[in-house]
Structure 1
């Protein structure tokens, strides 16, 4: 079921939700959290599609907040809130509310969103595009227990990362870090097999890649060795090289979904190491809503040869 509301209020949206739920026979008790997506019209479709896919694993209420400021302040003298509600089959495994905030009401998005949050459940906020440098101090960010940003969407990722180091608050995380989960798993398994001490490390990636910087910091934290940042043609991270007394441990992924793992004294083997879609990244973040201590630790790591 799809319900369109023009020039509405949060109270009217809640009433429409109740009526729609009764009409399709969908209870609200099965939803485990509220996901708030703050985006623009250009990115709204892809973000909502990713959230819909993630909701198959985590039934949730999705609130999409689109702020529409007029080019001229006098263009819309009156504030207006429009909403599109999707329930049942139109909303995958939960409920979806797309909120378009026009005029001055866009400056008070937290007041619009607060009455629409599911009671007694966690709130996760996701900025698919531009995000505040201090997410926890943002009025909408203050409503959430988990705040997800994406350094890949920043105009200057490494400078933005530098600002996030200073402003980090428990509950903050970034999809650039989430993208590293397969790399970290492969490297941890390789080190277990090699059973030797690492004396040097290097991460190869395209220039200014934020995930490469986070991976280098993770290696420094876990292995206590300085990690070189080397520029390659990409795309994204292309190789990690770990030096040992017996030889190099190398994971190479020059392109495509497959990587090659080389261990000293062993034949090379092929591994699946594909670039995951955004829906998988969001689903992973929604599996654990407590503070990511390792992410906080590597943000504080300043021992490497990176720009910080």
Structure 2
């Protein structure tokens, strides 16, 4: 069910939510958090709502979408309430702010926050330089950005490094969960030798490649070479850990399936397809405490040694388009 409330106020939105609850129980009270989505008033609104709806099946929540419209328009608040099948396991409130109200997203959100529930703010595309200092970020226990979705992903990641505050995280980091799990499991197998050198190869515009190199640098306490593959948007191509008895290698030439090679073990094919936004969002909503490993990884970016362009994937580079991991 979708209910439009043009030229309205937040008090009228709250009143309508109460009416829905009293009339048919359409709006349940068992919400575990409030998810605020800060975005422009473009096509990304529906994509973000769809991702939040999918994530809400694991984390029932109130979703408040703050969509900033034209700042030259007259001040106006248009709202929309979605419940039932149009909202997954959540209730969705879309606030479209025009004119001077476009800069007052936090003031419009506060009256609609669930009482005594954590607040998470997510910027699906362009995020502020310092999320914790943004009015919406200041309301939140957790702040989720996505460097890969910004115009300059690597520059955005550098901004995250300078502005990090406990509670910040980035979906470019979340996309690394499978890579980190595979590399950790491989290093746990004998022979238990120290890694003497490491190399991570990926697209020049892949923030996840930088973060994987930073994670290895921080935890192995060695400089990590960060090489560039030839295709923009192709994400991570390979990770190589050198040890005296031989190297551990994960190579993903097609952006979907990788091959794990290690001494004394047969080669293994492993699924490393890029994770969907809703999967990453759902993972981040499982924890509301600070992500210390992400913080340490941002510090590890200083241990990256950047190299020249490489062509290692030339034999299998034809089928990984669109993979920004």
1:167 is the counterpart of 2:166: no
Q: CA deviation at 1:306?
A: 4.5
Residue 21 of structure 1 contacts residue 87 of structure 1 at CA under 8 Å; is this kept in 2?
no
Greater mean deviation of Cα atoms: 20-29 or 214-223: 20-29
Aligned residues: 302
Which residue of the other structure, out of 102, 109, 126, is the alignment partner of 1:106? 102
Which residue number in structure 2 is paired with residue 245 of structure 1?
A: 244
Q: CA deviation at 1:22?
A: 2.3
SS in 1 for 2:30: coil
Which residue number in structure 2 is paired with residue 25 of structure 1?
A: 25
Give structure 2 stretches of 5+ with no counterpart: 308-325
**Partners of 1:303 and 1:269 in 2: CA distance:** 30
Which residue of the other structure, out of 200, 219, 222, is the alignment partner of 1:203? 200
SS in 2 for 1:140: helix
Which residue number in structure 2 is paired with residue 121 of structure 1?
A: 117
Cα RMSD (Å) of the superposition?
Answer: 1.4
**Partners of 1:117 and 1:292 in 2: CA distance:** 24
Which residue number in structure 2 is paired with residue 305 of structure 1?
A: 305
Which residue of the other structure, out of 179, 189, 193, is the alignment partner of 2:189? 193
Greater mean deviation of Cα atoms: 25-34 or 274-283: 25-34
Q: Hey, which bits of structure 1, 4+ residues long, moved more than 3 A?
A: none
Q: CA deviation at 1:196?
A: 2.0
**Partners of 1:93 and 1:113 in 2: CA distance:** 20
Q: CA deviation at 1:117?
A: 0.7
Which residue number in structure 2 is paired with residue 228 of structure 1?
A: 225
Give structure 1 stretches of 5+ with no counterpart: none
Q: CA deviation at 1:299?
A: 1.3
Assess, with a 3 A threshold, how the Cα gap between structure 1 residues 20 and 282 changes in structure 2: closer, same or farther: same
Cα deviation digits, residues 20-79 of structure 1 (max 9, x gap): 122331454311001011112221111110000000000000011110124xx3xx3x31
Q: CA deviation at 1:233?
A: 3.4
**Partners of 1:6 and 1:84 in 2: CA distance:** 8
**Partners of 1:32 and 1:204 in 2: CA distance:** 39
SS in 2 for 1:305: strand
